[in-house]
Chain A
Amino acid sequence: MAEPLLSIDGLTKTFHVAKSASGNTKLKALDGISLTVGRGETLGLVGESGCGKSTLARTLMMLETPDEGTVSFEGTNPFGLRGKELLGWRRRVQMVFQDPFASLNARMSAGDIIAEPWATHRSLYPTSKERDERVRELLEMVGLRASDGRKSPQEFSGGQRQRIGIARALALNPDAIILDEPVSALDLSVQAQVLNLLNELQRELGVSYIFISHDLTVVRHVADRVAVMYLGRIIETGETEEVFDHPRHPYTAALMSASPKLDVTGAKRDRIVLKGELPSPLDPPSGCRFRTRCWKAQDICAQVAPEPQVLTAPDGRRHSAECHFPLDSLKGLAGAAVTASAP
């Protein structure tokens, strides 16, 4: 694995909300999150709505302050920085948003949108000549025409708008970009164009991505490593192929199994269909958080929260999952109540 650019340890974030049905006012959106992102690496973050993906992204952007835990960006804790140092740090982590129709100001030209970060980070391109030149460069880098800078966002299609959003994120030459569902609002044929662009940019610039997505097919295509979240915890993490091919946590297996596959051979595929829905994060189950929907749950799951454990596959590859009864990677899902044969 590449030398870590970003490492997070035991990150916890609690929100205080108006009284819920259960009388609980504390919503633990992140509960002891630990992960690392290497330089030039893509970390895929998957999970269902409400699992804490976006809170994690916002915390990494320093839009939320964690209650506990540490964030280390090349050895420095951004939450300890002030003034110019903080500004310098903010330059290095940027974000691309999900909805390209809502995330671009309709009253600004594409060029002004891309140049706007420099209004804060003045020292980067001090003269207007440099800025104009850089805007044209960025537009071409993301596959638009240099002359497109004069147009306003509504003159572009969804895919082109997302390219503008990417150019804006690149404007400050960041080390890491958080991509929050960057292609889920795009049509399939356009989605492939944007994924190709992201791949090329990473190869050229060596930028790290934190790629948040609910689309497992897309994550499998882009991510070097993947972290699966459930109710504020990372329940399984490891190299993408390893996690996808040998899921150890029942939730990961169910998630993989539930996501539709494009298989034209017509082979029969049994699926795990989970009962019930995500429990409210205001009132998470005791012990293991997945136990209310898990087919392997036993008494211990309600009493003791499982710790992350590193599991080794016969081929020597290892990845970590937190489960009292991890699935046997050899047999795939044979230990479960149902079996899944991936196409």
Chain B
Amino acid sequence: MRTAAEQAPPNSRPRAGTPATQSQAHDVVLQVKDLAVDIRTHRGTIRAVNSVAFEARAGETLALLGESGCGKSMTAKALAGIMDPVCDLADGQIVLNGTDLAALSPKERLKFAGPELGIVFQDALTALNPVYTVGTQLGEAFRIHRGLNAKQARLEAIDLMKRVGIPEPESRVNSYPHQFSGGMRQRILIAMAVALNPRLLIADEPTTALDVTVQAQIMQLLRTLREEGQMAVILITHDLAVVAEEADSVAVMYAGNVVESGPVAEVFADPRHPYTKGLLESVPVHLERGAHLKSIPGSPPELHDIPAGCVYQSRCPLVQDICRAERPALRPAGRRRTADPAGTNVLEADDGGMGTTPADRTISAEGRPVRTAACHFSEEITNG
């Protein structure tokens, strides 16, 4: 047989499983609070990421969704501690398994890179070093963190290549990155990221450069690895359909801010922020061919020119005076109950269980993700 059916799509929400895996699935691996990143430019300091907050749970995928320039990749780099020299972590906490990475020195953070946190980049050809064999690059993690010698590391590298489905690993371990196809290079990159079984895997547009049939293979691999290692996965993407199929929860970013977050099914079925609604309506589905698409007028603001008040005001159909004066905080937005096919995971957003800071409000008292939106008129959005 030359095909493999996708047996259990991980996006089947709510997650079915034994009580044991369910409790595991709720373990918060990463908690990000008030994250802010500044970029120093010759036009002054600009804020690329502003009070971003979210959580990633073991065995689940959190999608950071947004268009180019919205700060999603910058957020990923801040989490991994690999920001460009002109960028500063201005504020916030990055709590990974109880340790606040933001408070550590760069040297201390190195210990976390690999065993605790792995990252997969978009462009596998530039992310791999062209002058070393893939075996050397795959074995590096074992040499540095486990103190293995070159021979042992090579064996580990072969094991890894088997795990990510690269054929004939014993001979290909000595090949150079350019000798692999795009899909295979992406597999190598994923292998490097999961080499030391990290608790958190950040995948930054892992399939954008790939063809759809290869994209499906890579996504399947990421799902398998996530299940095996009970990793928390942060998937960064601009593709709504990928989010719908791969993620459990989603944080929608716009101009450096999270404007809406919550479980994917609920956010997509009943968006509570006009930007999310506008994005969903821009997708040409369920429409007569050639019918007029509802597009969002204008384009996102330049980062050095972000208005006071709501970041989305210039494109928003609901804009009022208050939106220009006051930036809405991310607050619970799930009061309107949405239809949930399985009848579970119903929204439980009521202010009683909420903390006081915006970051605390992304989690309910029971530790489940709740719907949040940063809009003054979130309740007035109608979804037909």
B289: chain A residues at CB < 8 Å are 220-224, 240-241
Of the 9-residue stretches A7-15, A170-178, A185-193, which lies at the interface with chain B? Answer: A185-193
Q: Are B283 and A199 in contact (CB under 8 A)?
A: no
B279 touching A188, Cβ below 8 Å: yes
Interface size on A, residues (CB 8 A): 56
* Contact of B284 with A218 in the complex, beta carbons under 8 Å: yes
Known: A188-B282, A221-B287. A258 touches B215 (CB 8 A): yes
Stretch at the interface among B107-115, B190-198, B236-244: B236-244
Among B4-12, B24-32, B97-105, B125-133, which stretch is in contact with chain A? B4-12
Q: How far is the CB of A246 from chain B (nearest CB, A)?
A: 16
Q: Is A265 part of the contact surface with B, judged by Cβ < 8 Å?
A: yes
Q: How far, in whole Å, are A218 and B284 apart by their CA atoms in the complex?
A: 6
Are the C-beta atoms of A193 and B244 separated by less than 8 Å?
no
In the complex, whether A27 has a CB less than 8 A from a CB of chain B is no
Within 270-326 of A, Cβ neighbours of B (below 8 Å) are at: 270-278, 293-295, 297
Taking the closest CB of chain A, its distance from the CB of B316, in whole angstroms, is: 12
Decide if A190 touches B265 in the complex (CB within 8 Å): no
Q: What residues of chain A lie closer than 8 Å to B150, measured between beta carbons?
A: none
Q: Does A65 sit at the interface, judged by CB under 8 A?
A: no
| Interface 9-mer from B77-85, B291-299, B323-331, B352-360 | B291-299
Evaluate contact between A264 and B268: CB separation under 8 angstroms. yes
Give Cα A256 to B170, complex, Å.
35
Asked if B151 is at the interface of the complex by the 8 Å CB criterion, the answer is no
A295 to chain B: which residues have CB within 8 Å? 1-3
B278 near A271: Cβ-Cβ < 8 Å? no
B231-282 with Cβ < 8 A to chain A: 238-242, 244-246, 265, 268-269, 278-282
**How far is B211's CA from A44's CA once the two chains are assembled, in angstroms?**
17
Q: A222-B290, A295-B2 are in contact. Are A262 and B240 (CB under 8 A)?
A: yes
Assess whether A293 is in contact with B283, with CB atoms less than 8 Å apart: no
Interface residue B136 (Cβ < 8 Å from any Cβ of A): no
A271 touches which of B6, B265, B284, B341 (Cβ 8 Å): B6
Residues of B within 8 A of A294 (CB): 2
Interface: B135 (CB within 8 A): no
Residue of A nearest to B207 (CB): A260
Q: A274-B216, A295-B1 are in contact. Are A196 and B293 (CB under 8 A)?
A: yes
Q: Distance (Å) between the CB of A80 and the closest chain B CB?
A: 35
Question: What 1/0 flags go to A173-217 for Cβ under 8 Å of B?
Answer: 000000000000001111111011001000000000000001011
Q: Does A259 count as interface, using CB distance less than 8 angstroms? A: yes
Contacts of A217 in B (CB 8 A): 241, 283-285
Q: Are A260 and B242 in contact (CB under 8 A)?
A: yes
Contacts A157-B299, A258-B216, A260-B245: A192 and B293 contacting too (C-beta < 8 A)? yes
Bound: A112/B12 CA distance, A: 53
B293's partner among A49, A195, A224 (CB-CB below 8 A) is: A195
B152 part of interface (Cβ distance < 8 Å): no
Interchain CB contact under 8 A, A270 and B292: no
Q: Is the CB of B212 within 8 A of A48?
A: yes
List the B side residues contacting A277 at CB < 8 Å: 181, 183-184, 213-214
Q: In the complex, what residue of chain A is closest to B341 when comparing beta carbons?
A: A266
A333 to B44 CA separation, bound complex (whole angstroms) = 58
Let me know if B283 and A270 touch, CB within 8 A. Answer: no
Chain B's nearest CB lies how many Å from the CB of A122? 36
B9 with A269: CB separation less than 8 A: yes
Give a binary string over B137-173; 1 marks a CB under 8 Å from any A CB, 0 the rest: 0000000000000000000000000000000000000
Query: Which of B9, B265, B292 touches A196 (beta carbons < 8 Å)?
Result: B292
Q: Across the interface, which residues of A come within 8 angstroms of B4, CB to CB?
A: 273, 275, 338
State whether A268 touches B213 (Cβ < 8 A): no
| Shortest distance from the beta carbon of A163 to any chain B beta carbon, whole Å | 12
B245: A residues at CB distance < 8 A:
260-261, 263, 269
Q: Which residues on the B side are within 8 Å of A35 (C-beta)?
A: none
Instruction: Provide the bound-state CA to CA distance between A270 and B3, in Å.
Output: 12
- Cβ–Cβ contact A264 & B265, under 8 A: yes
21 contacts between A and B (CB under 8 A): A190-B299, A192-B283, A192-B284, A192-B296, A199-B290, A217-B285, A222-B290, A260-B245, A260-B246, A262-B244, A263-B244, A264-B268, A265-B269, A268-B12, A273-B3, A274-B217, A275-B4, A276-B2, A277-B181, A297-B2, A337-B2
15 other A-B residue contacts (CB within 8 Å) besides A191-B295, A260-B239: A188-B282, A189-B282, A189-B295, A193-B295, A214-B212, A220-B284, A224-B289, A259-B241, A260-B241, A270-B9, A273-B3, A274-B3, A277-B181, A277-B184, A295-B2
Q: Which residues of A contact B (CB under 8 A)?
A: 48-49, 157, 159-160, 187-193, 195-196, 199, 214, 216-218, 220-224, 240-241, 254-255, 257-266, 268-278, 293-295, 297, 336-338
The 6 closest A-B pairs by CB, nearest first: A192-B295, A221-B284, A260-B241, A189-B296, A338-B5, A187-B67
